[in-house]
Structures are given as C-alpha cells and as structure tokens.
C-alpha cells in the first residue's frame, strides 16, 4: 500500500513539474503515472550503478555530478515514455529539481518513512 501512495505522490509531482516548466510536457494523467513508474524503476536499478561508476567525478565535484545523473535519468525516461517530452538537458535538470522539491513536500505530508 505504501508503494502505491508513493507512486501517486510521484505522479502528482510529475504533473506539477509539467505545469511549472514550459520545456517539459506530459500529455495526460496516464503519461504522468507512467513517467513516475519509469523514473522509479530507473532510479532503483540504473541510478545506483551510475553513482558507483561515477564516484570519483562525484567526489571531485563535491556531489554536483549527481545532478547530471538525475538529468540523464529524466532524459532517458523521456525516450522511453511516449507522450513525455523534455526539450534538453537544462529542462531535464530543472525537472529533476522541481520533482525533488514537490516530492519532498508531498512525502513529508504523507508522514515520511515509517
């Protein structure tokens, strides 16, 4: 049940980011839900591998390279999900920052991790 709530909250975050950013487009609620699921899977499977492989660069940039990895995950999700478009790297970076902010607020309202 907890995973279903997190997916719904992530979908809301995707749709809010879509409303706030002109360079990002999700055509409908179904697409937003699919983006949330795909991003969850990419962040659960591929992101840890990328973080491990880029650890020296991440340490050298004091963690800022993680933002590049987040933007890459968003761009990859845009290629996977039909109906979800991102106009470039900077929009993907902005999308990931907005998603993080909205999810932080929504997950804190949910009660956080228990």
pLDDT tens for 71-99 read 999 999 999 999 999 999 999 999 999 99
Neighbours of 67 (CB within 10 A): 15
Phi/psi of residue 20, each to 5°? -85, -25
State the pLDDT at residue 33.
96
State the pLDDT at residue 1.
82
- CA pair distance 37, 103, nearest whole angstrom: 14
Neighbours of 51 (CB within 10 A): 13
The full DSSP string for 59-74 is: HHTTTTHHHHHHHHHH
Domain ranges of the chain: 29-110
Task: Please state whether the predicted TM-score (pTM) of the whole model is above 0.85.
Answer: yes
State the pLDDT at residue 110.
75
Q: Which residues of the chain have pLDDT under 50?
A: none
């Amino acid at each position: 049940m907890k995973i279903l709530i997190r997916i719904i909250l992530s979908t809301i975050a995707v749709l809010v980011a879509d409303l706030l950013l002109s360079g990002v487009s999700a055509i409908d609620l179904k697409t937003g839900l699919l983006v949330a699921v795909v991003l969850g899977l990419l962040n659960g499977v591929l992101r840890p591998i990328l973080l491990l492989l880029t650890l020296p660069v991440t340490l050298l940039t004091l963690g800022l390279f993680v933002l590049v990895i987040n933007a890459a995950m968003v761009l990859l999700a845009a290629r996977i999900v039909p109906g979800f478009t991102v106009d470039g790297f900077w929009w993907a970076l902005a999308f990931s920052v907005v998603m993080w902010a909205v999810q932080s607020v929504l997950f804190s309202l949910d009660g956080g991790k228990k």
